[in-house]
Amino acid sequence: MIRYLSVAALIAASATIAYAQGATGTAAITERKAAMKAVGGANKGLTDMAKGDVAFDAAKAAAGFQTMETNFVKAKALFPDDSKTGGDTAALPAVWEKKADFAAKMDKAIADAKTAATASKDEASFKDQHKQVVSSCGGCHKDYRVPPAKK
Ligand code: HEC
């Protein structure tokens, strides 16, 4: 069992490394901040819709969740070991200290956004889906991001 687990962990780790080869160092920081910003931008539109400030539109809702999913996938691959500091990053050391938990939280956000894109059939289901998706934001930021300064 122990041997099985460690092999699985190794495979998971090498898959992560292979995937993260795109950007390194401060380039990775710049790219992941841009990806998270795109998640935030998509969420702004979805939040306005959930509050009723903007009329519900199934196609727009799906597109918003898809933008989130795509950018979560991008961001997940942009935390290489050489990007712990610099580039004005707000990522906490915990990202690298608890890699498996961080990756699991990212995977959950990706899965929830993907589900939401197809499950938001009408206004009520959209609101439920949006609630589910945004529940992952604070859960991850609390442990892994320096809270943004109040402006
Ligand atoms: C699995 C972890 C995780 C989840 C889930 C997550 N975030 Fe983040 N987010 C981060 C981390 C880490 C940073 C800091 C990145 C950095 O500065 O290097 C960040 C940064 C941000 C930023 C700032 C980007 C910038 O301009 O620097 C925004 C906006 C943001 N997240 C929005 C969201 C929203 C909205 C959700 C939910 C829909 C969400 N995040 C879900 C981990 C997460």
% residues pLDDT > 90 (the chain): 83
Q: Using CA positions, which residue lies closest to atom 31 of ligand 1?
A: 36
Distance 7 CA to ligand 1 centre (A): 31
User: Which of 33, 76, 108, 141 most suits a substitution to test ligand 1, by most atoms within 8 Å of the C-beta?
Assistant: 141
* Ligand 1 atom at minimum distance from 136 CA: 5
- Is residue 81 within 8 Å of residue 96, measured between CB atoms? yes
Q: In angstroms, how far is the first alpha carbon of the chain from the final one?
A: 51
The string of pLDDT tens digits covering residues 68-108 is: 999 999 999 999 999 999 999 999 999 999 999 999 999 99
Q: Using CA positions, which residue lies closest to atom 7 of ligand 1?
A: 137
Residue 20 tokens read as 């993260």
Average pLDDT, the chain: 90
- Is the distance from the beta carbon of residue 79 to the nearest atom of ligand 1 less than 6 Å? no
- Is the distance from the beta carbon of residue 29 to the nearest atom of ligand 1 less than 6 Å? yes
Confidence (pLDDT) at 150: 72
- Is the distance from the beta carbon of residue 28 to the nearest atom of ligand 1 less than 6 Å? no
Tell me: pLDDT of 52 over 60: yes
Residue 44 tokens read as 């702004």
- Is the distance from the beta carbon of residue 109 to the nearest atom of ligand 1 less than 6 Å? yes
Distance 138 CA to ligand 1 centre (A): 9
The string of pLDDT tens digits covering residues 53-71 is: 999 999 999 999 999 999 9
> In which band, very low, low, confident or very high, does the pLDDT at 20 lie, cut at 50, 70 and 90?
very low
> In which band, very low, low, confident or very high, does the pLDDT at 149 lie, cut at 50, 70 and 90?
confident
Distance of CA 40 to the CA centre of its chain: 10
CA distance 110 to 72: 6
- Is the distance from the beta carbon of residue 145 to the nearest atom of ligand 1 less than 6 Å? yes
